Amino acid sequence: MPTRNEYTMLSDSLLLLTAQARRCRSTSPEQSLQMAAQAEETARAAGHNAALIEALLCSSHCLLLMEQEMEKARAQLTEALGLCRLLAKPAYYGETLYLRGLLFLLSYALEDAEIDLVQSVEWLDKANLREWNVVALSALGRVYIEMGSYPTALKVLRDALSLGEDIGFEKMGQIFCISGHQYRADIFRYIGVVYSNMDQFARAISYYEIALETYEQIAPSHAGRTLYNMGIAANEMGNVDLALSYYQRSYDLECEWGTASGAAISLGGIGEVFIGLGQLDQAWAALQKAEKCLSTDEINRGFYADLLWTMGDCLLRQGKSSEALNYYLRTMSLLEETDRASSQFAIHHQKLATLYKSLGDFEKALHHFECFHQLTTEHLEESWTEQMHQAMVQFDTERALKDREILHLHSQELEKEIAERTAIQVALAKAKDELEARNRELALLSQKDQLTGLYNRRFLDGIIEPLLSVARKMHEPVSVALCDIDDFKQINDLLSHAVGDEVLRIVADILQASLRRTDVAVRYGGEEFMAIFPNTEEGEAALLMDQFRGTVAGHRWSQITESLGVTISIGVATQTRHTDSYTLIRDADVCLYSAKRRGKNQVITSSQLQVGDVPPDMLNATILPPAQPGIGTQDYNGTELEGQGDPQ
């Protein structure tokens, strides 16, 4: 048995070794892992529990950073947690629970990850380890992103950023032996991911750019991941050239600095862009190469599921429905192994329903359509509350970030800001109560159109004014699109009402598939449909509607009857200049009238209107400024026009 002096010397030597291992785990995890293994062996032989915990935590952290031997890391953390109970030190509890939460996050066991990380924050608070709390809060924000709880994720990430700036990210860098600015960049990237998932892609890219500037200097592998995120946002915005550029840069950086899995994930993005461009052979080559790598990756199962779904899309575009179905089913099987938000499954069920219907398996088509309908309904019922919560958190987050980037508020300014936030919270709470009361009334009535499955006018009448009211209080735009099937009466008269009903159903399906999670589709009446876009400017809504218009025009209508062709005219207006739903819908109707008048099969927005476009019965209540005496007929921007006749 060693003497007291010998034990003290051994203890000092072990702690020095574990400290050295900790210092190089971020920059050289392989070397750190070797030193941690040596310290673990010595600590076990000497019965030194504190040094053994240090070695186990360092070793498991290295394995997580390298995304290797997850089962070994899990066993080490389980043993470390048992030793924590013996030593009863909050610092060890906090770090162990943080690392196990990170392990659960990588394994997509999101509920377990949330529990461990919340407890980790509590233990780290007790130990006054504020630097560790920043990384724990950052990881917790990632968990809420994966769970689809975006307002909560924003709040947690804002708390992490605030705490990190209070401590000083440079000080964090000294403690973790890595540039503290990397932690700051991580948080900005995660905030960008939140906004991207909320379909606010331009705002997301602005946060990614802040993170990218730091990563390019100190962490090129992280720069690759950020460029991949930027590719997603650009692709969703319809800028395929920019998206392809981001994905290619991401792939190059991952090949040079990152991992094979990271490069494969970037390849998946490249393949998705090629599908959108119709270059299916190039897309399939990229996707196959990515699939070979990700199929054996136990960490990135979520990315693998997304890749399989994209491969199914590629096969479907090639007319290989049965093969595509196999990939879609493999995707669903993988997703069911994770704790992903249920709303993410809705679009998958919708596509499976459509595919099974095309294959003639109507029983399975009905099953998946019912799943899609249920998930969509649940998500819509939750979305109003989430949007209000999101708006409140977004207000807090943006204000806090701006304040910390520029200067600290004086005490009087801070009190004023708190009063403003309180007033907004009260207004939002009141609006929420009004919406909930109205929703309870609407629950007793039919809210769906029986033919198309879209929401009906009764549902629209109940939600449009509260939605506009909340938007006005938050100074956010709401856009509305009125869509009318061109020459629909001729379809009914010449081809039968049965064909007309099928056209209505298909157009409704295309409209629903063209919208985002937060948008609402309504059958407005007859052959007219309406789309509502919360927190969306006119241009963005017009872009979405033009994509919808193109999909309708390009649909294979000849499958119904050989002589059939269908187009749609659309008018788009935005709530910014209006006070009520009547005015907003009327302006969209004026734009629709103009689209019909100019030749149909097009999208017209309020900003594109000309004086001659307004129908005579609306001249007394038009959104256009009156012509000035002596100047002549003018368009909306004041440019002199030639006289134009009535629409045909």
* 3-class secondary structure per residue, 55-121: HHHHHHHHHHHHCCCHHHHHHHHHHHHHHHHHHCCHHHHHHHHHHHHHHHHHCCCHHHHHHHHHHHH
Q: Can you give the pTM of this predicted structure?
A: 0.55
Tokens of 467: 């939605």
3-state class (DSSP) for residue 295: coil
Task: Round to whole Å and give the CA distance between 596 and 486.
Answer: 8
Over residues 501-514, the pLDDT tens digits come to: 999 999 999 999 99
Q: Which residue has the higher pLDDT, 609 or 36?
A: 609
> If pLDDT is split at 50, 70 and 90, which confidence band does 565 have?
very high
d(CA 114, CA 262) in angstroms, rounded, equals 25
CA distance 258 to 310: 23
Residues 248, 282: contact at Cβ < 8 Å? no
Q: What is the pLDDT of residues 201-250, one digit of tens each?
A: 888 899 999 888 888 888 787 888 899 999 999 988 888 889 899 999 98
CA-to-CA separations, 211 to 182, 188, 208, 548, in angstroms, rounded: 8, 6, 5, 34
> Given 3-state DSSP classes, what are the helix, strand and coil percentages for the chain, each rounded to the nearest 5?
75, 5, 20
**CATH number, domain 473-623:** 3.30.70.270
Question: Residue type for 248, please?
Answer: Q
Range from 86-100, 119-133, 170-184, 323-337 carrying the lowest mean pLDDT:
170-184
Q: How many CB atoms lie within 10 A of CB 227?
A: 25
Inter-residue contact 177 to 26 (CB < 8 Å): yes
Tell me what pLDDT residue 222 has: 83
Nearest-angstrom CA–CA distance, 371 and 381: 15
Q: From the centroid of its chain, how far is CA 575?
A: 25
**Shortest CA distance to 9 belongs to which of 48, 37, 40, 59?**
48
280: its two tokens: 């299916």
Cα separation of 141 and 278, whole Å? Answer: 37
Looking at the predicted structure, is the pLDDT value of residue 421 above 80? no
- β partners of residue 568: 485
Write the CA distances from 88 to 19, 80, 91, 284, integer angstroms: 21, 12, 9, 55
Q: What order do you get walking across the sheet with 520-525 strand by strand? A: 520-525, 528-534, 478-485, 568-574, 603-605
Per-residue pLDDT tens over the stretch 619-628: 554 454 333 3
Question: What is the b/e burial string over 467-497, where b = at least 16 CB atoms within 10 angstroms of the residue's CB?
Answer: bbbbbebbebbbbbbbbbbbebeebbeebee
Mean residue pLDDT of the chain comes to 79
The pLDDT score that the predictor gives to residue 449 is 86
Give the highest mean pLDDT range of 334-338, 359-363, 386-390, 488-492. 488-492
One-letter amino acid identity for 304? Y
Domain boundaries, the chain: 473-623
**Which amino acid is it at 116?**
D
- Spatial separation of the C-alpha atoms in residues 197 and 239, rounded to whole Å: 17
> What pLDDT is stored for residue 295 in this prediction?
81
Looking up tokens 């000092």, which residue turns up?
12
Q: For 473-496, what is each residue's pLDDT tens digit? A: 888 899 999 999 999 999 999 999
Which run of H or E residues covers position 330?
Answer: helix 321-335
pLDDT > 90? residue 164: no
